[in-house]
Amino acid sequence: MSYPLITIEDVIKNTRFYPDSRRETLIKKAYDLAEKAHQGQKRKSGEDYIQHPMHTALNLAKIGMGSKTISAGLLHDVPEDTQITIEEIEKEFGKEISALIDGVTKLGKIRLRGTKEEIFLENLRKMFLAMAADVRVVIIKLADRLHNMETLDALPPEKQQRIAVETMEVFAPLANRLGIGEFKVRLEDLAFKHLDPENFEYVTKLAKEQYEQRRKYVDKVVNELRRELAKEKIEVIKIFGRTKHLHSLFQKLKRHDMDINKIYDLTGIRIIVPEVVNCYETLGIVHKRFHPLVGRIKDYISLPKPNGYQSIHTTIFGPEGKFLEVQIRTKKMDDEAEFGIAAHWIYSEKKKRLRDYFFRSSTAQKVPEKEVNWIRQLREWQNELGKDNQEFIESLKIDFFKNHIFAFTPLGDIIDLPEESTPVDFAYKVHSEIGNRAMGAKVNGRIVPLDYKIHNGDVVEIATSKEHKNPSRDWLRFVRTSEAKSHIRKFMKKDGML
């Protein structure tokens, strides 16, 4: 696939922030410097080098990043590949933009080598720590990697493999953890193409055949639902058919003996409405018109996924008895599903534009604490683990890349945990003192051992001691989360037990 040449006007046209001349001037100024610095340089594909930072900037603009991040995207290769230094950029563009570029440059020095374990060792620690400093550094790196993957065919086969493995093992999971679905699916599909070309071709052909067959069917259901919702006076921002991405489809096929007929959500319908209450009203209307498939209704609005994803999913018996998945969400939820943590900049901009059209702070923009609590946590326990790379990596894989479950306190508060977590993990997630004083546990009203594996939806009650703290060295054998391990070790060290 060839990617078209773009102009700086294309980048500006795709920005999502409130238009104003100062921001456009900043982006154009960054472009002018990048174009001058990269003058005469070519990529392996033969195109002018400036097209790469331009596509990086366009990727950032499309997911809603601000003018400073877009400018840093335009300039991200200048200190590394040209005569212009980071000090000169700081003098011209300020400390915030130069810090972003410097962070991306440092991440660019990390190279994949050896086994998958070493991929995590060499990449994840530094990337997560970069996020703890300023998450925009990693978002720029993801935008950069996306265009590199789009033009990967121009590189020698061995480099294609190395970069594709790194993308599938590191960058796509990072995009997922940040909730940037738009980047995740594109990175996975592009990596899939190079890592498993035979199955990529097979799934591409299969998907094309199936989608062609189902397109008219989906359009028919879309029109029917549109009429029903209009009849009930539900405002619909958008309703459209959607298809499963190739890598995701392949993963599902593997779980279902490669039988396409066992996959219910190959094609589906997405309905976007203004408010949360409209989501539930819409669900009722969908179920009134088409029977739902029992056990296939998922409410990620009241119980969001760990990366913040919110939506209602239901599988219905459509016309002719065919299964069809319907997703219902608000515009804000849809933006967050596509753009993840980057959507913060879209919505914070909307809130502040009435009082201030311009960036006035010289410091990095802050993302709401609830959205980056897990990033901040990395810094704390990474410092505690010190140079123990292996344990840090294992903790990353459990805490951030493993499937997550939700459990409830007796008062109905939601606790997010990795799979196979225990009541001790749950206790420390609620509060360190509850963990330290835990004596026993009940799950769904039944007494269970402290090494019990919690299931999704369990209600967990922790019995605590008022007089004594009880952490046991044995707990380290079965707890799953780094948070629990960290607190247990702290207690052991304090008491001279470690």
Which residues are the active-site residues?
A: 80-81
Dihedral angle, C-alpha 127, 133, 134, 135, nearest 10 °? 40
| Bridge partners, residue 243, by sequence | 267
DSSP letter for each residue of 23-50: HHHHHHHHHHHHHHHTTT-B-TTSSBTT
Closest by CA position to 268, among listed 251, 288, 284, 290: 290
Q: Where are the alpha helices (DSSP H) in 38-133?
A: 51-62, 67-75, 78-81, 86-93, 95-108, 116-119, 125-133
User: Which pairs count as long-range contacts for 25-29, CB under 8 Å and 24+ apart, including other chains?
Assistant: 26/67, 26/68, 26/71, 26/93, 27/57, 27/67, 27/70, 27/71, 27/74, 29/71, 29/92, 29/93
Tell me the C-alpha to C-alpha distance, in Å, between residue 301 and each of 101, 273, 312. 36, 13, 6
How far is it, in rounded angstroms, from Cα 134 to Cα 422? 32
What's the chain's length in residues? 498
H or E stretch including 392?
helix 389-399
Cα separation, 13 vs 11, in Å, equals: 5
What are 272's strand-pairing partners? Answer: 238, 329
Axis crossing angle, helix 135-150 with helix 125-133, rounded to the nearest 10: 130
CA 403 to chain centre: 13
Strand, helix or coil for residue 324: strand
For residues 331 and 235, the answer to whether their CB atoms sit within 8 Å is no
367: DSSP letter: P
